Amino acid sequence: MKKYNLFIAGKEVETENYSSLYTPYSKDLIAEIAIANESQVNAAISHASQSFKSFSKFTARKRFGILEKVSKLLEERKEEAAQIIALELAKPLKYARAEIARTIETYQFAAEEAKRIYGEVIPLDAAQSGENRFGYTKREPLGVIGAITPFNFPFNLVAHKVGPAIAAGNSIVLKPASQTPLSALYIAGLFKEAGLPDGVLNVVTGPGSVIGDLLLAHDEIKMITFTGSPKIGYQISQKAGFKRTTLELGSNSALIIDKDVDVSSIIDRCVMGAFSNQGQVCISTQRIFVHEDVASTFVELFINATNQLKLGDPLAEDTDISALVSPGDLQRSLDWIREAEENGAQIITGGHEENGVLKPTIILDAKDFLKVSCNEVFAPIVVVNTFKEINDAIGAVNNSEFGLQAGIYTNNVPNALLAADNLEVGGVIINDVPTFRVDHMPYGGIKNSGTGREGLKYAIEEMTEMKLIIWNQS
């Protein structure tokens, strides 16, 4: 069985302890993963700090070239990378390939943004005391970025932290999810091959509670960028002190379907939004509010399309749904379904597991206090409720502790504008599901969905500091 070591200062580093990594679908043992100790985490931070001194002086052209090379290397090896995702996460191969395609594009965007980190001229002479003075701003890298990534998009969400950090001239200590370390170690190897100086990108694997606390406590870490649960995000915010943070903490994203919509034309998008990657998507379509005039037609078509999805081995070409990331998540999901059923909700398809895979589940009339409604389900479960008036639907969407993205299908322009203005979320998607994301758009939420924004340009703003320079010309 292959052992995977830490990646520190451009080298593989062995450690005393290793943990076993099992693939979620077959439960086969696939690797032994290094568990970093405190001295190794501190060494990774030290190397990142030392490398930052020289890397921060790299020209935009050099940073562009490294990121562009990584994008090309990943393009050349995209099938190998997709197989890694399918193996360590049980993401169906078709979705794993789509993630790699997005990751290639994300590094391309990062490369381009490395050349577009601008400042601005300040008209100081607008003030009486500013005459004969010239001012401008520039953006400078922060230093060492501590990046903590989740399991559900192990290549692309790493890219959303590593890409902008390198584009801006920062160095990174990356702690990937314990279930999906192979992707992070693989991309670290590609960066080394692309010519990234040793020590700029370091990967430390092991328990998040231990490594995260070490990153938070270390003075050389200038920023924490984290994607994960609200509970951990809150703990990070409390411990971070003056460290900058970007926290992407999930959601129970909602979709409104207005009465003037041809529901037959949107079924495929709704199925994708609710069930891709087994619903393990921060902006998975978890709640659907459909106008009562079209509800029965929508539900019938939605059930029929959902029941066509094929369950099974993530490495099979035709698999749509495979295993959740862990047996605990499967049991939690089944418990939440049972809670909904016991409280009067209707399980109209799915609701049980088949050979260790949770069948895509559609629930009608789930009350808003049920876990399948108000918590982040992170499973192939969607609840469908009806509404009469658009304001009622908007209010139902807003009745949530989360606020990442929401979608609305409508042909009524006033209703679309009403939703755009009144939905309490970071992004409103008109005439598409809330699961829509392209990698250069600003992405982030409000409420318990987090703080800060990702998307390459916007992440670079988070990962740089503005400096003002004033010349006295008198």
Residue 319 DSSP symbol: -
Q: What is the DSSP string of 261-286?
A: S-GGGTHHHHHHHHHGGGG-STT---
The total of other beta-carbon atoms located within 10 Å of residue 466's CB is 11
The pair of structure tokens assigned to 182 is 């192979």
Distance linking the first and last C-alpha atoms of the chain: 72
Q: Which two tokens mark 31?
A: 């690797």
**Radius of gyration (Cα) for the chain, nearest Å?**
23
Q: Which residues of 93-104 are buried (b: 16+ CB within 10 A; e: fewer)?
A: bbbbbbbbebbb
> Which helix (H) or strand (E) element contains residue 325?
none
Cβ 67 vs Cβ 110: under 8 Å: yes
Place of tokens 């070591």: 5
The catalytic site residues sit at: 248, 282
> Of 68, 48, 65, which is closest to residue 170 (Cα–Cα)?
48
Would you give the distance in Å from CA 410 to the centre of its chain? 27
Question: Tokens standing for 441?
Answer: 């758009």
Contact 419, 394 (CB under 8 A): yes
The position carrying tokens 């609710």 is 274
Non-local CB neighbours of 96 within 8 Å, separated by 6+ positions:
82, 83, 85, 86, 89, 314
